[in-house]
Structure 1
Amino acid sequence: MENLLYIAHNLQNHLETLRQFTSTPGFGVTRLPFSKEARQAVDYIKDQMEQIGLRTWIDASGAVHGRLDGTEPDAPTILIGSHYDTVKSGGAYDGIAGIVSAIEVARILKENKVQMKYPLEIIATNDEEGITYGVCFLTSKALLGRWTITELKQLHDTAGESIYDAILRFGLDPNKIEDCKIDSLNVKCFIEIHIEQGPVLDSKGIQLGLVDCIAGLQRYRIQMIGKSNHAGSTPMDMRSDAVDASTKVISCISEWAKTEGGGTVATVGFMQVFPNALNTISGKTEWVLDCRSSDEEKIQHIVEKLTQKLEEVKSKTGVDYKIEPLVHVKPGYMNKELLEQLEKSCCTFGYSYQKIMSGATHDAHLMSEEVDTIMLFVPSKDGISHSPEESSKYEDLARAVYVVSDMISNLN
């Protein structure tokens, strides 16, 4: 195989180019679905795929595909990829590093004339993050046949544009969203290379992480309804303060997660206060609980404790509540046989590695529900992600390219 530094140099060139496609220059990478910056990324990715001889197309979800035929055209296809969209003012590696790594994998296999039985198809997916429409995995859901035209018309951004209309504006046909669906029987596996977005590998000096499980995710929107009133003239024992009641609940959540253990995490990172005035008692709050674990029972324990605490606080303060489930994604377990193949490839090159759980969700998470899936992590410097400071070493990404290329070469 080629020199590791040569591959790292190629990856650097790709990522340095792609980081320029942002609506917030100087403040991280912002590349939202169906934006001008997304179009720039799509055009670049498609061009790079074509330069190495792949057959390319863009599907109705906005995903870019590049296909390399195998020696047996009717053999099931190896899918490899990640997402090209970002969060607002995010980093230059999340998602996109997996796409350019996949391009390097395909280039190496093609230029070295590796006789692959299985066709290889890169998929640069769209709207994995779910920032614009509040629903993530646009492409992955399309690949699994989980969108309808009605749903595309019902989901809107803050400006009122639906996903359906955004797809049209992007020059694609939303009425063909169902054509994106893959036949799982014709898929050998799905592979995703990704930065860890956590501190484990970097803190331990480990070069690669073999993901064995992606944590299950549940989100709940909680509304707490009190009564707005004057902050100065309303006695403390005659208040129905939604903020005060909310804090009584939220302050318990961290300990609940620690008690469950096993890598379980729980977060309240979004909260709105109404009317949000400095001299007015809050009459309403709205906040979201994000809970993740490799064990769904642990998440359920936290949700049960949440409900009990809300009832307790209601009885003491008179502040009512509503709970609305937003997201329920089961833990995603990676294919054991393919993980063993990755281990062998790591050993072949003498790279340090460890099994690791992903607390963040990814396209691989959804894909694992229907096809054999594996995921490979590279270290994130200081564990930072979703931030302009996000960074990973190009040499580590090149190692992931080596390992995945070797694994694909040896699949039978």
Structure 2
Amino acid sequence: MSETKPSPLGGEIVARIDQLATISETPEHLARVFLTDEHRKAADLILSWMREAGMSAHLDAIGNVCGRYEGERPGLPALMLGSHYDTVRDAGRWDGPLGVITAIACVADLDRRGKRLPFAIEVVGFADEEGVRFASTLLGSRAVAGTFDESVLNTRDRAGTSMRDALIQFGLDPAHIGKAARARRELLGYVELHIEQGPVLEEKALPVGVVTAISGATRLAASLTGVAGHAGTVPMPLRRDALAGAAECIVAIEQFCRSDEQGLVGTVGYVNAMPGATNVIPGKVSFTMDIRSQNDMHRKRAVADTVRQIEAIAKRRELALQIDVTHENRSVPCAPWLKSQIAEAVAAEGHAAFELPSGAGHDGMAMVDVADIGMIFVRCRGGISHNPAEHVELADADTGARVLLRFVENFRPHVAVNS
């Protein structure tokens, strides 16, 4: 692979990433949460960038920042590019904004050259992907896809403010959210550029990758109940130690997922032992499980197998078991025709078109209900994300932009073949 010098695109993108990161709840910890003052300042800044790039731009009824660059004539169907501009708390600056800012930079490059395409380009900065404030994710993209659940308008944040009231305080009308929805005939496809949020591209020494699918996820909450007892007086053979049982379950989950050859991943991210005293045998332990795969059937079988193993451990140790599914999301495949065009752009920029799934969720999970989706991953240092240490090198930001721009300029809309 030949070394290439970063083009002006990379520098512009990094400068804007840094500028956007200054808009935060506090200077010490980056946080830009849905429908806050910081969120509005960020939206206004992104709108100004869209207009500078030659787009008409507006804020829709859910707070999405929407820009449109017309094609060779007004009103043509659009290729939509985008990502989100909200963050988690104590966030990194690249997760989400990289996709929005890169898409704007690509449109600006077309505009500088006076180039119009046989389709329109729309860029969307989705208002809420992370779900931090109201514990409901993909709000912006669900509104665009026409699948927004209006019942979530009644949910309240920690301060007791309802989403409905927060929208009104932001200057939006909750009654108009339906107007954000797009028809399938209006969109030729949705493509998102995003940091990988994992270490695979770095391990492969590749700046970009072609996403195959967004993995589905099942989350479960489990509790094991035994008998609490004195740490010094209960002999080991007579113990019904809930924490020891949970430890065996956690190791079993790890071993099961490690032995899988289809990319299954499993995580126990939370454990709570009660009563939580040094000299007391734990009588009850709660823990969570998060199991993901790009293949839904494989994930569901894996969840069933995992539950059976946990049941067997609980029975052998004489522990009462309770397991509940707390979250389930389908996997979302990227459209083969978009994958192939993205791969062509990657190869034309002199890189191997390496394919990999996304273990994290993205707005494409909602957008698939209104358009075929594709994704481009950009390498991030150490695979670190949702963390202030999240970082993308300037050269990689530039490579991602050049791949996206090449993809857009050579984009061929999909023509369905009647069977």
How high is the TM-score relative to the length of structure 2? 0.89
Residue 311 of structure 1 aligns with an amino acid whose one-letter code is E
Matches of 2:322 and 2:299 in 1, distance apart? 19
Report the alpha carbon displacement of residue 7 of structure 1 after superposing the two structures with TM: 1.2
Residue 44 of structure 1 aligns with an amino acid whose one-letter code is L
Matches of 2:172 and 2:398 in 1, distance apart? 34
Kindly, what percent of the aligned residue pairs are identical?
A: 30
Determine whether 1:5 maps to 2:1: no
Matches of 1:80 and 1:318 in 2, distance apart? 54
User: Secondary structure at 2:354's aligned position in 1?
Assistant: strand
For residues 232-381 of structure 1, the aligned pairs below 5 Å read 241-278=241-278, 281-381=281-381
User: Secondary structure at 2:197's aligned position in 1?
Assistant: coil
Partner of 2:105: 104
Partner of 1:23: 25
Q: Does the C-alpha gap of structure 1 residues 52 and 26 become closer, same or farther in structure 2, counting only changes over 3 Å?
A: same
**Contact 2:202/2:381 (CA < 8 Å) preserved in 1?**
yes
Please give the per-residue CA displacement for 1:178-222, whole angstroms capped at 9, x wherever unaligned: 222221222101010111111222222212211122222221222
For residues 367-406 of structure 1, the aligned pairs below 5 Å read 367-406=367-406
Which shows bigger deviation, 48-57 or 182-191?
A: 48-57
Please give the per-residue CA displacement for 1:333-361, whole angstroms capped at 9, x wherever unaligned: 11222222223223333244312222222
Matches of 1:229 and 1:69 in 2, distance apart? 72
Partner of 1:190: 190
Partner of 1:85: 86
Matches of 2:105 and 2:268 in 1, distance apart? 39
Matches of 2:115 and 2:340 in 1, distance apart? 21
Q: Does the C-alpha gap of structure 1 residues 246 and 5 become closer, same or farther in structure 2, counting only changes over 3 Å?
A: same
For residues 28-43 of structure 1, the aligned pairs below 5 Å read 29-43=30-44
Q: Does the C-alpha gap of structure 1 residues 179 and 326 become closer, same or farther in structure 2, counting only changes over 3 Å?
A: farther
Please give the per-residue CA displacement for 1:211-241, whole angstroms capped at 9, x wherever unaligned: 1222222212223345666666666666654
Matches of 2:320 and 2:9 in 1, distance apart? 58
Partner of 2:169: 169
Matches of 1:320 and 1:158 in 2, distance apart? 33
For residues 189-228 of structure 1, the aligned pairs below 5 Å read 189-226=189-226
Which shows bigger deviation, 65-74 or 228-237?
A: 228-237
Partner of 2:96: 95
Partner of 2:132: 131
Q: Does the C-alpha gap of structure 1 residues 276 and 122 become closer, same or farther in structure 2, counting only changes over 3 Å?
A: farther
Matches of 1:352 and 1:40 in 2, distance apart? 39
Matches of 1:369 and 1:363 in 2, distance apart? 11
**Contact 1:55/1:67 (CA < 8 Å) preserved in 2?**
yes
Which shows bigger deviation, 125-134 or 240-249?
A: 240-249
User: Secondary structure at 2:105's aligned position in 1?
Assistant: helix
Residue 46 of structure 1 aligns with an amino acid whose one-letter code is L
Consecutive unaligned residues of structure 2, counting only runs of 5 or more, are 413-419
**Contact 2:52/2:108 (CA < 8 Å) preserved in 1?**
no
Please give the per-residue CA displacement for 1:26-74, whole angstroms capped at 9, x wherever unaligned: 44x2222223322222121112112223222222322111111222434
Partner of 2:415: none
Matches of 1:25 and 1:285 in 2, distance apart? 38
Matches of 1:111 and 1:191 in 2, distance apart? 22
**Contact 2:183/2:370 (CA < 8 Å) preserved in 1?**
no
Matches of 2:21 and 2:166 in 1, distance apart? 23
Residue 102 of structure 1 aligns with an amino acid whose one-letter code is A
Q: Does the C-alpha gap of structure 1 residues 218 and 10 become closer, same or farther in structure 2, counting only changes over 3 Å?
A: same
Matches of 1:284 and 1:46 in 2, distance apart? 52
How high is the TM-score relative to the length of structure 1? 0.90
User: Secondary structure at 1:248's aligned position in 2?
Assistant: helix
Matches of 1:316 and 1:203 in 2, distance apart? 41
User: Secondary structure at 1:269's aligned position in 2?
Assistant: coil
Residue 44 of structure 2 aligns with an amino acid whose one-letter code is D
Please give the per-residue CA displacement for 1:306-355, whole angstroms capped at 9, x wherever unaligned: 32233223334443333222322222211222222223223333244312
Determine whether 1:54 maps to 2:55: yes
Please give the per-residue CA displacement for 1:100-121, whole angstroms capped at 9, x wherever unaligned: 1011011112221222121211
Which shows bigger deviation, 387-396 or 226-235?
A: 226-235
